Structure 1
Amino acid sequence: MDIVQEKLQVLRTKLDKYPVLQQAESTTSVPKEFLVLGGGLLFAVLTVFGIGIASLTSLVGFVYPAFKSFQAIETKSKGDDTQWLVYWVIFAFFSIIEVFVDVLLYWIPFYFAFKLAFLLWAMLPQTKGAKFLYESFLKDLLKKNESKIDQALANAKKNSGSFASEFSNAASDIATSAASAVSSTQENKKVT
């Protein structure tokens, strides 16, 4: 039992750095080490049983990186910019893939727990996983295929312009037809 008390005291000492925990302890009258352990246990239970884990993963994957991205914008250093730009590409990749394979994700056990662990690895300053991914894999891949990517984007831009023009013309034709139909209906009502 002394070992447990000793570990709790060590944890309490580490948590003393965070004023928000001191305030939570004052408000709830629950020691901050128990608040943190309880929160961690609740998080673990939610992760294991998958209750709200998709939303929680998205929230964790967004809040801290958004704040750090804002800080990176305000600094003159380029290193943190790379870290956060690559992180957002990774985050967007997960978000887009999940839209299309949402039904399949239900059958992958602990998908969101793995995603959360991956996003934490990618975002945390201790690991700088996003920067590692960029320097190890993406940088060479993108440089090697830069002309192909530029060509694909140019084709997409050209095609989307013609699609937008065709869509606009079709919408205009429909609107004109609808207006003339309404107009002739109103004229028929006046005649009768």
Structure 2
Amino acid sequence: MDVVQQKLGVLRTHLDQIPVLQQLEETAKVPKEHLVLGVGALLVIIIFFGVGAGSLCSVVGFCYPAFKSFEAIETKIRGDDTQWLVYWIIFAFFSIIEVFADFLLYWIPFYYAFKMAFLLWAFLPQTRGAKFLYDSFLKDLLKKNESRIDAALADAKKQAGSIGGDVAKVAGDVMAEAQKMATADDKKDE
């Protein structure tokens, strides 16, 4: 029991450096180390049992990197911009794969725990996993298929413009017909 108290004391010393936790401790009347351990346990349960795990993974995979990207934009250091651009490329690639493989992912036990670990590995500055994946695999794949990707995007843009024009024409025709009907109804009422 003394070992547990000693570890809690060490944790408390680290948590004393976070003013928000001090305020939370005073408000809740619960020691901050217990609050942090409780929230951590809750997050572990959420991730391993899947209740809201997808949303939690999305928040973790988006919020911290988005804030760090904002900070990188606002500083003059170029290396951090590159790190976060590479992360967003990996995040987008992972998200696209996940959309198409969603029906298979349902059957993988602890998928969200693995996804959370992957996202943390990808964006933490200590690991720079996204940079590793980009340099090792994705860069060569994208460079090799760059012309085909550009052609597909150009074709999609052209088709989207054509479809948009068709939708606008149909919407205009519907509005004109509705106006004719409204005018005819007004003449009947007179």
Q: How does 1:51-66 map to 2 (within 5 A)?
A: 51-66=51-66
**Residue of structure 1 equivalent to 2:177:** 177
Q: How does 1:33-182 map to 2 (within 5 A)?
A: 33-93=33-93, 105-182=105-182
Equivalent residues, number: 190
Deviations 1:159-181 (A, max 9, x none): 21222122222222222222223
Please, which runs of 5 or more residues in structure 2 have no aligned partner? none
Pair 1:146–1:81, CA change in 2 (3 A): same
One-letter code of the match for 2:50?
Answer: G
One-letter code of the match for 1:40?
Answer: G
Q: Following TM superposition, by how much is the alpha carbon of 1:53 offset from its aligned partner in structure 2, in angstroms? A: 1.9
Pair 1:189–1:104, CA change in 2 (3 A): farther
Distance in structure 2 (CA, Å) of the matches to 1:179 and 1:22? 65
Q: Following TM superposition, by how much is the alpha carbon of 1:103 offset from its aligned partner in structure 2, in angstroms? A: 6.1
Give the alignment's Cα RMSD to 1 decimal: 2.5
Q: Following TM superposition, by how much is the alpha carbon of 1:123 offset from its aligned partner in structure 2, in angstroms? A: 1.4
Report the TM-score, using the length of structure 1 for normalisation.
0.83
Q: Following TM superposition, by how much is the alpha carbon of 1:73 offset from its aligned partner in structure 2, in angstroms? A: 0.5
Q: Following TM superposition, by how much is the alpha carbon of 1:106 offset from its aligned partner in structure 2, in angstroms? A: 4.3
Deviations 1:131-162 (A, max 9, x none): 22222222222122111111111111222122
Aligned-pair identity (%):
65
Report the TM-score, using the length of structure 2 for normalisation.
0.84
One-letter code of the match for 2:4?
Answer: V
Please, which runs of 5 or more residues in structure 1 have no aligned partner? none
Partner secondary structure for residue 44 of structure 2: helix
Deviations 1:13-71 (A, max 9, x none): 33233222233233333322222222211111222222222222222222211210110
Moved over 3 A (4+): 89-108
Whether 1:2 and 2:5 are equivalent positions in the alignment is no
